[in-house]
Amino acid sequence: MTLHVWWDEPADGPCNMAADELLAAEAFDRGTICMRIYGWQPVTVSLGGFQRGVEARAEQSIAGVAIVRRPSGGGAIVHGSDLTYAAAVPKTHPWGGRPQLLYDALHETMRQSLGAFGVEAALWRPAETVVAPAAGDRFFCFDRRSSGDLVVGGPGAADDLGHKVMGSAQRRLAATVLQHGSLLVRRNLDVAPAASHPGLDDLIGGGFPAAAVRPLVTAWIAAVAGALGTEVVEESGRFQDEQLVREKAREFASERWTWRR
Amino acid sequence: MAAAMKFAKSHEWARPEESGLVTVGISAYAVEALTDLVFMQLPEVGRHVKAGESLGEIESVKAVSDVYAPVSGEVVEVNTALPGALETLGRDPYGSGWLVRLRPADAADMAALLDQPAYDALVKSQPH
Protein backbone atom coordinates (compact mmCIF):
# COMPACT_ATOMS: atom_id res chain seq x y z
CA MET A 1 0.00 0.00 0.00
CA THR A 2 1.56 3.27 -1.16
CA LEU A 3 0.57 6.93 -1.08
CA HIS A 4 0.29 8.40 -4.58
CA VAL A 5 0.58 12.17 -4.91
CA TRP A 6 0.07 14.53 -7.83
CA TRP A 7 1.04 18.21 -7.75
CA ASP A 8 -1.23 19.94 -10.23
CA GLU A 9 -1.06 23.38 -11.79
CA PRO A 10 -3.79 25.86 -10.78
CA ALA A 11 -7.06 25.27 -12.64
CA ASP A 12 -10.59 26.59 -12.60
CA GLY A 13 -13.27 25.30 -10.28
CA PRO A 14 -15.06 22.85 -12.58
CA CYS A 15 -11.77 21.28 -13.73
CA ASN A 16 -10.57 20.91 -10.14
CA MET A 17 -13.82 19.25 -9.07
CA ALA A 18 -13.74 16.96 -12.09
CA ALA A 19 -10.14 15.94 -11.39
CA ASP A 20 -11.03 15.18 -7.78
CA GLU A 21 -13.90 12.96 -8.82
CA LEU A 22 -11.48 11.10 -11.07
CA LEU A 23 -9.07 10.91 -8.14
CA ALA A 24 -11.69 8.99 -6.16
CA ALA A 25 -11.96 6.47 -8.99
CA GLU A 26 -8.17 6.25 -9.09
CA ALA A 27 -8.02 5.44 -5.37
CA PHE A 28 -10.55 2.67 -5.87
CA ASP A 29 -8.68 1.22 -8.85
CA ARG A 30 -5.34 1.31 -7.03
CA GLY A 31 -6.82 0.21 -3.70
CA THR A 32 -4.86 2.80 -1.79
CA ILE A 33 -4.74 6.47 -0.78
CA CYS A 34 -4.29 9.00 -3.56
CA MET A 35 -3.78 12.74 -3.07
CA ARG A 36 -3.84 15.75 -5.33
CA ILE A 37 -2.33 19.10 -4.34
CA TYR A 38 -3.49 22.04 -6.36
CA GLY A 39 -4.31 25.71 -6.73
CA TRP A 40 -7.03 27.77 -8.39
CA GLN A 41 -7.07 30.12 -11.34
CA PRO A 42 -9.07 32.35 -11.24
CA VAL A 43 -9.90 33.07 -7.61
CA THR A 44 -12.94 30.92 -6.92
CA VAL A 45 -15.46 30.38 -4.16
CA SER A 46 -16.34 26.73 -3.66
CA LEU A 47 -19.71 26.11 -2.06
CA GLY A 48 -20.42 23.13 0.16
CA GLY A 49 -22.47 20.36 -1.43
CA PHE A 50 -25.79 21.60 -0.07
CA GLN A 51 -25.24 25.26 0.66
CA ARG A 52 -28.09 27.40 -0.58
CA GLY A 53 -27.44 29.20 -3.84
CA VAL A 54 -29.56 32.09 -2.69
CA GLU A 55 -27.16 32.68 0.20
CA ALA A 56 -24.19 32.68 -2.15
CA ARG A 57 -25.90 35.18 -4.45
CA ALA A 58 -26.72 37.41 -1.49
CA GLU A 59 -23.17 37.37 -0.08
CA GLN A 60 -21.86 40.76 -1.23
CA SER A 61 -18.32 40.07 -0.07
CA ILE A 62 -17.84 37.60 -2.94
CA ALA A 63 -19.79 39.45 -5.61
CA GLY A 64 -18.27 38.87 -9.03
CA VAL A 65 -16.07 35.98 -7.92
CA ALA A 66 -16.27 32.67 -9.81
CA ILE A 67 -18.34 30.02 -8.01
CA VAL A 68 -18.23 26.24 -8.14
CA ARG A 69 -20.11 23.73 -6.02
CA ARG A 70 -18.12 20.95 -4.39
CA PRO A 71 -19.53 17.45 -4.06
CA SER A 72 -18.25 17.48 -0.46
CA GLY A 73 -19.98 19.09 2.49
CA GLY A 74 -19.10 22.06 4.67
CA GLY A 75 -19.09 25.80 4.14
CA ALA A 76 -17.91 28.13 1.39
CA ILE A 77 -14.18 28.64 0.83
CA VAL A 78 -12.46 31.44 -1.06
CA HIS A 79 -9.64 29.79 -3.00
CA GLY A 80 -6.63 31.59 -4.35
CA SER A 81 -4.48 32.24 -1.30
CA ASP A 82 -4.89 28.76 0.16
CA LEU A 83 -3.32 25.39 -0.43
CA THR A 84 -6.02 22.94 -1.50
CA TYR A 85 -5.79 19.18 -1.39
CA ALA A 86 -8.00 16.27 -2.29
CA ALA A 87 -7.42 12.88 -0.69
CA ALA A 88 -9.27 9.75 -1.69
CA VAL A 89 -9.26 6.39 0.07
CA PRO A 90 -11.20 3.19 -0.52
CA LYS A 91 -13.72 2.59 2.25
CA THR A 92 -11.76 -0.55 3.12
CA HIS A 93 -8.69 1.59 3.87
CA PRO A 94 -7.79 2.04 7.56
CA TRP A 95 -8.93 5.66 7.26
CA GLY A 96 -12.02 4.86 5.19
CA GLY A 97 -14.42 4.21 8.06
CA ARG A 98 -15.99 6.91 10.18
CA PRO A 99 -15.60 10.43 8.73
CA GLN A 100 -13.52 11.64 11.68
CA LEU A 101 -10.76 9.08 10.97
CA LEU A 102 -9.52 10.62 7.73
CA TYR A 103 -10.28 14.13 8.96
CA ASP A 104 -8.17 13.76 12.08
CA ALA A 105 -5.41 11.81 10.35
CA LEU A 106 -4.73 14.49 7.75
CA HIS A 107 -5.13 17.38 10.18
CA GLU A 108 -2.96 15.83 12.90
CA THR A 109 -0.16 15.16 10.42
CA MET A 110 -0.43 18.75 9.21
CA ARG A 111 -0.28 19.92 12.84
CA GLN A 112 2.94 17.96 13.29
CA SER A 113 4.38 19.32 10.06
CA LEU A 114 3.55 22.90 10.99
CA GLY A 115 5.30 22.30 14.29
CA ALA A 116 8.50 21.47 12.42
CA PHE A 117 8.18 24.88 10.76
CA GLY A 118 7.79 26.62 14.09
CA VAL A 119 4.02 27.00 13.90
CA GLU A 120 2.10 25.93 16.97
CA ALA A 121 -1.33 24.69 15.91
CA ALA A 122 -3.94 22.51 17.55
CA LEU A 123 -6.84 20.30 16.58
CA TRP A 124 -9.92 22.10 17.79
CA ARG A 125 -12.26 20.08 19.98
CA PRO A 126 -15.59 21.35 21.23
CA ALA A 127 -15.70 21.81 24.98
CA GLU A 128 -18.94 21.69 26.93
CA THR A 129 -18.38 25.27 27.99
CA VAL A 130 -17.89 26.53 24.45
CA VAL A 131 -20.76 27.20 22.13
CA ALA A 132 -19.24 26.66 18.72
CA PRO A 133 -20.67 28.46 15.72
CA ALA A 134 -23.41 26.12 14.55
CA ALA A 135 -22.48 23.95 11.61
CA GLY A 136 -24.95 25.30 9.15
CA ASP A 137 -25.46 28.91 10.11
CA ARG A 138 -22.19 30.45 8.97
CA PHE A 139 -21.65 30.83 5.27
CA PHE A 140 -17.86 30.53 5.22
CA CYS A 141 -15.99 27.38 6.26
CA PHE A 142 -13.40 29.44 8.12
CA ASP A 143 -16.09 30.99 10.30
CA ARG A 144 -17.27 27.54 11.41
CA ARG A 145 -15.72 25.14 13.87
CA SER A 146 -16.05 21.40 13.96
CA SER A 147 -14.07 18.78 15.80
CA GLY A 148 -10.61 18.32 14.31
CA ASP A 149 -10.33 21.72 12.61
CA LEU A 150 -6.76 23.00 12.71
CA VAL A 151 -6.50 26.28 14.62
CA VAL A 152 -3.78 28.64 15.76
CA GLY A 153 -3.92 31.48 18.24
CA GLY A 154 -3.16 35.06 17.43
CA PRO A 155 -4.56 38.56 17.68
CA GLY A 156 -8.31 38.64 17.56
CA ALA A 157 -8.78 34.95 18.25
CA ALA A 158 -11.42 34.03 20.77
CA ASP A 159 -9.55 31.96 23.36
CA ASP A 160 -11.64 28.86 22.91
CA LEU A 161 -12.01 29.03 19.15
CA GLY A 162 -8.65 30.16 17.79
CA HIS A 163 -8.16 31.07 14.15
CA LYS A 164 -9.08 28.21 11.87
CA VAL A 165 -6.31 27.69 9.31
CA MET A 166 -7.32 24.28 7.91
CA GLY A 167 -10.69 22.71 7.37
CA SER A 168 -11.83 19.72 5.36
CA ALA A 169 -15.03 18.02 4.27
CA GLN A 170 -15.90 14.74 2.64
CA ARG A 171 -17.98 13.17 -0.07
CA ARG A 172 -18.65 9.56 0.84
CA LEU A 173 -19.17 7.61 -2.37
CA ALA A 174 -20.23 3.99 -2.75
CA ALA A 175 -16.74 2.54 -2.42
CA THR A 176 -14.48 5.48 -1.66
CA VAL A 177 -14.19 8.58 0.49
CA LEU A 178 -13.13 11.84 -1.15
CA GLN A 179 -11.90 14.51 1.25
CA HIS A 180 -11.35 18.11 0.24
CA GLY A 181 -9.33 20.40 2.46
CA SER A 182 -7.91 23.89 2.50
CA LEU A 183 -4.92 25.31 4.36
CA LEU A 184 -5.20 29.08 4.49
CA VAL A 185 -1.79 30.50 3.70
CA ARG A 186 -2.69 34.20 3.75
CA ARG A 187 -5.63 36.56 3.53
CA ASN A 188 -7.22 36.73 0.14
CA LEU A 189 -7.21 40.37 -0.93
CA ASP A 190 -9.35 39.74 -4.01
CA VAL A 191 -12.50 39.61 -1.90
CA ALA A 192 -14.09 41.95 0.63
CA PRO A 193 -12.95 41.71 4.29
CA ALA A 194 -15.97 39.63 5.35
CA ALA A 195 -14.77 36.86 3.03
CA SER A 196 -11.06 37.31 3.74
CA HIS A 197 -9.86 35.24 6.68
CA PRO A 198 -6.37 35.46 8.16
CA GLY A 199 -3.98 32.73 7.14
CA LEU A 200 -0.64 31.47 8.42
CA ASP A 201 1.25 34.44 7.00
CA ASP A 202 -1.03 36.86 8.85
CA LEU A 203 -1.10 34.98 12.13
CA ILE A 204 2.47 33.84 12.64
CA GLY A 205 4.99 36.29 14.02
CA GLY A 206 7.43 36.98 11.21
CA GLY A 207 4.97 35.67 8.65
CA PHE A 208 4.92 32.45 6.69
CA PRO A 209 6.70 32.93 3.34
CA ALA A 210 5.24 31.58 0.13
CA ALA A 211 8.51 29.74 -0.47
CA ALA A 212 7.88 27.65 2.65
CA VAL A 213 4.55 26.27 1.45
CA ARG A 214 5.89 23.55 -0.83
CA PRO A 215 8.40 22.28 1.77
CA LEU A 216 5.59 22.29 4.33
CA VAL A 217 3.33 20.23 2.11
CA THR A 218 6.18 17.87 1.24
CA ALA A 219 6.76 17.35 4.97
CA TRP A 220 3.03 16.83 5.47
CA ILE A 221 2.82 14.16 2.77
CA ALA A 222 5.80 12.39 4.35
CA ALA A 223 4.03 12.56 7.72
CA VAL A 224 0.85 11.12 6.20
CA ALA A 225 2.85 8.26 4.74
CA GLY A 226 4.62 7.80 8.06
CA ALA A 227 1.32 7.55 9.90
CA LEU A 228 0.27 4.81 7.49
CA GLY A 229 3.66 3.09 7.57
CA THR A 230 3.87 3.36 3.80
CA GLU A 231 5.90 5.03 1.08
CA VAL A 232 5.19 8.11 -1.00
CA VAL A 233 5.06 7.83 -4.76
CA GLU A 234 5.22 11.32 -6.30
CA GLU A 235 3.61 10.97 -9.69
CA SER A 236 5.08 12.99 -12.52
CA GLY A 237 2.98 15.24 -14.69
CA ARG A 238 -0.56 16.36 -14.15
CA PHE A 239 -3.21 14.06 -12.79
CA GLN A 240 -5.30 12.67 -15.63
CA ASP A 241 -5.61 13.63 -19.25
CA GLU A 242 -6.59 17.29 -19.64
CA GLN A 243 -9.27 16.50 -22.23
CA LEU A 244 -10.88 13.90 -19.95
CA VAL A 245 -10.91 16.39 -17.08
CA ARG A 246 -12.43 19.09 -19.28
CA GLU A 247 -15.19 16.76 -20.47
CA LYS A 248 -16.04 15.81 -16.91
CA ALA A 249 -15.83 19.45 -15.84
CA ARG A 250 -18.90 20.31 -17.92
CA GLU A 251 -21.15 18.84 -15.25
CA PHE A 252 -19.50 20.89 -12.51
CA ALA A 253 -19.78 24.02 -14.66
CA SER A 254 -23.49 23.52 -15.33
CA GLU A 255 -26.18 25.75 -13.85
CA ARG A 256 -28.04 22.62 -12.79
CA TRP A 257 -25.15 21.53 -10.55
CA THR A 258 -23.97 24.92 -9.34
CA TRP A 259 -27.42 26.08 -8.27
CA ARG A 260 -28.82 22.69 -7.32
CA ARG A 261 -30.03 24.13 -4.03
CA MET B 1 -36.83 -4.44 15.46
CA ALA B 2 -38.74 -6.54 12.96
CA ALA B 3 -37.22 -10.00 12.42
CA ALA B 4 -37.45 -9.68 8.66
CA MET B 5 -35.39 -6.49 8.47
CA LYS B 6 -32.30 -6.87 6.30
CA PHE B 7 -29.35 -4.63 5.52
CA ALA B 8 -27.27 -3.44 2.58
CA LYS B 9 -23.50 -3.32 2.89
CA SER B 10 -23.85 0.43 2.40
CA HIS B 11 -25.78 0.57 5.71
CA GLU B 12 -29.37 0.97 4.55
CA TRP B 13 -32.05 -1.27 6.04
CA ALA B 14 -35.07 -2.74 4.25
CA ARG B 15 -38.16 -4.15 5.92
CA PRO B 16 -40.94 -5.92 3.96
CA GLU B 17 -44.39 -4.84 5.12
CA GLU B 18 -47.63 -6.83 5.06
CA SER B 19 -48.83 -4.47 2.33
CA GLY B 20 -46.13 -5.79 0.02
CA LEU B 21 -44.18 -2.54 0.22
CA VAL B 22 -40.60 -2.34 1.53
CA THR B 23 -39.75 0.35 4.06
CA VAL B 24 -36.20 1.72 3.80
CA GLY B 25 -34.02 3.56 6.28
CA ILE B 26 -30.40 3.89 7.35
CA SER B 27 -28.87 1.93 10.20
CA ALA B 28 -28.11 3.24 13.67
CA TYR B 29 -24.42 2.62 12.96
CA ALA B 30 -24.51 4.84 9.87
CA VAL B 31 -26.36 7.61 11.70
CA GLU B 32 -23.89 7.54 14.58
CA ALA B 33 -20.85 7.42 12.28
CA LEU B 34 -22.01 10.45 10.30
CA THR B 35 -22.32 12.51 13.52
CA ASP B 36 -24.30 15.76 13.40
CA LEU B 37 -26.74 15.66 10.49
CA VAL B 38 -27.64 18.97 8.88
CA PHE B 39 -29.51 18.25 5.64
CA MET B 40 -31.26 15.46 3.78
CA GLN B 41 -32.60 15.22 0.26
CA LEU B 42 -35.10 12.45 -0.48
CA PRO B 43 -36.53 11.29 -3.83
CA GLU B 44 -39.93 12.18 -5.22
CA VAL B 45 -42.82 9.76 -5.17
CA GLY B 46 -43.06 7.89 -8.45
CA ARG B 47 -39.33 7.63 -9.08
CA HIS B 48 -38.08 4.19 -10.10
CA VAL B 49 -34.76 3.09 -8.65
CA LYS B 50 -32.54 0.09 -9.10
CA ALA B 51 -30.87 -1.66 -6.18
CA GLY B 52 -27.60 0.11 -5.48
CA GLU B 53 -28.67 3.39 -7.11
CA SER B 54 -28.62 6.62 -5.14
CA LEU B 55 -31.96 7.21 -3.47
CA GLY B 56 -31.05 10.49 -1.84
CA GLU B 57 -28.27 12.35 -0.07
CA ILE B 58 -27.56 13.18 3.53
CA GLU B 59 -25.17 15.83 4.81
CA SER B 60 -23.49 15.89 8.18
CA VAL B 61 -21.09 18.49 9.54
CA LYS B 62 -18.18 16.81 7.77
CA ALA B 63 -19.57 14.75 4.94
CA VAL B 64 -22.11 14.37 2.19
CA SER B 65 -23.16 10.75 1.69
CA ASP B 66 -25.42 9.02 -0.79
CA VAL B 67 -28.23 6.84 0.47
CA TYR B 68 -28.56 3.80 -1.79
CA ALA B 69 -31.66 1.83 -2.64
CA PRO B 70 -31.32 -1.61 -1.05
CA VAL B 71 -33.88 -3.06 -3.48
CA SER B 72 -35.22 -2.06 -6.89
CA GLY B 73 -38.67 -0.57 -7.14
CA GLU B 74 -40.90 2.48 -7.30
CA VAL B 75 -40.93 5.10 -4.57
CA VAL B 76 -44.53 5.18 -3.35
CA GLU B 77 -44.16 7.09 -0.08
CA VAL B 78 -41.58 9.49 1.34
CA ASN B 79 -41.11 10.49 4.98
CA THR B 80 -41.48 14.17 4.21
CA ALA B 81 -41.26 15.12 7.90
CA LEU B 82 -37.75 13.72 8.20
CA PRO B 83 -35.63 16.45 6.52
CA GLY B 84 -37.10 18.95 8.96
CA ALA B 85 -36.52 16.72 11.97
CA LEU B 86 -33.22 14.95 11.36
CA GLU B 87 -32.81 14.24 15.07
CA THR B 88 -35.46 11.56 14.51
CA LEU B 89 -32.82 9.49 12.72
CA GLY B 90 -30.72 9.35 15.87
CA ARG B 91 -33.66 8.70 18.19
CA ASP B 92 -35.52 6.08 16.19
CA PRO B 93 -33.63 5.00 13.05
CA TYR B 94 -35.68 1.82 12.61
CA GLY B 95 -39.07 3.39 13.32
CA SER B 96 -40.07 6.99 12.75
CA GLY B 97 -36.71 7.62 11.07
CA TRP B 98 -37.73 5.65 7.97
CA LEU B 99 -36.90 7.32 4.64
CA VAL B 100 -39.08 5.89 1.89
CA ARG B 101 -41.43 3.05 1.05
CA LEU B 102 -40.80 1.21 -2.20
CA ARG B 103 -43.01 -1.07 -4.26
CA PRO B 104 -40.37 -3.72 -4.95
CA ALA B 105 -39.72 -4.72 -8.53
CA ASP B 106 -38.05 -8.02 -7.74
CA ALA B 107 -38.68 -10.03 -4.59
CA ALA B 108 -35.29 -11.67 -5.01
CA ASP B 109 -33.55 -8.40 -4.10
CA MET B 110 -34.33 -8.95 -0.41
CA ALA B 111 -32.57 -12.31 -0.46
CA ALA B 112 -29.34 -10.62 -1.54
CA LEU B 113 -29.25 -8.40 1.56
CA LEU B 114 -27.54 -9.17 4.86
CA ASP B 115 -29.46 -10.55 7.80
CA GLN B 116 -28.94 -9.02 11.25
CA PRO B 117 -26.03 -11.28 12.36
CA ALA B 118 -24.21 -10.77 9.07
CA TYR B 119 -24.72 -7.00 9.26
CA ASP B 120 -23.52 -6.93 12.88
CA ALA B 121 -20.37 -8.74 11.77
CA LEU B 122 -19.88 -6.19 8.97
CA VAL B 123 -20.16 -3.31 11.42
CA LYS B 124 -17.64 -4.95 13.76
CA SER B 125 -15.18 -5.24 10.89
CA GLN B 126 -15.36 -1.54 9.98
CA PRO B 127 -12.27 0.61 10.65
CA HIS B 128 -12.84 2.54 13.89
CATH assignment of the domain containing B24? 2.40.50.100
pLDDT for res A238: 82
Out of A94, A103, A136, the one facing B127 most closely (by C-beta) is A94
Residues 6+ away with beta carbon under 8 Å from A259: A53
pLDDT the model gives residue A158: 63
Q: Which residues of A touch B57 (CB under 8 A)?
A: 49-50
Distance CA A216, CA A218 (A): 5
Residue A160 is predicted with a pLDDT of 67
Give me chain B's average pLDDT, please.
93
Look at A172 and B64 and tell me if their CB atoms are within 8 Å: yes
Looking at the 3D structure of chain A, how many domains does it have?
Answer: 1
- Rounded CA gap, A102 and A108, in Å? 10
Per CB-CB distance under 8 Å, the chain A contacts of B36 are 135
Q: How many residues make up chain B in this entry?
A: 128
Q: What is the pLDDT of residue A98?
A: 87
Catalytic (active site) residue A141: yes
Q: What percent of chain A has pLDDT over 90?
A: 84
How are beta strands B48-49 and B63-68 bridged, if at all?
A: unpaired
Q: Which residues contact A92 (CB under 8 A, 6 or more apart)?
A: A31
Q: Using H for helix, E for strand and C for coil, what is the string for A64-132?
A: CCEEEECCCCCCEEEECCEEEEEEEEECCCCCCCCHHHHHHHHHHHHHHHHHHCCCCCEECCCCCCCCC
How many CB pairs below 8 A link A and B? 73
Q: How confident is the model at residue B3 (pLDDT cuts 50, 70, 90)?
A: very low
The interface pTM score, or ipTM, of the predicted complex is 0.82
In a domain? residue B1: no
The active-site residue, picked from A5, A15, A141, A245, is: A141
What whole-number distance in Å separates Cα of residue B110 and Cα of residue B25? 14
* CATH number of the structural domain spanning residue A131: 3.30.930.10
Give the range of the structural domain holding residue B64, as residue numbers without chain letter.
6-125
Å from B68 to nearest chain A CA? 8
- Domain count along chain B: 1
Nearest to A68 by CA among A140, A13, A19, A12: A13
* A135 and B CB contact within 8 Å: yes
Q: Please tell me which of the candidates B39, B63, B128 has its beta carbon nearest to residue A99.
A: B63
**Model confidence over A89-112: pLDDT tens digits?**
999 999 998 899 999 999 999 999
Flag if A97 and B33 touch (Cβ within 8 Å): yes
Domain membership flag for residue B18? yes
Helix axes of A99-116 and A213-228: crossing angle, nearest 10 degrees: 130
| pLDDT of A135 higher than 70 | no
Give domain status of residue B62, yes or no.
yes
B117 within some domain: yes
Q: Which domain range does residue A198 map to?
A: 2-258
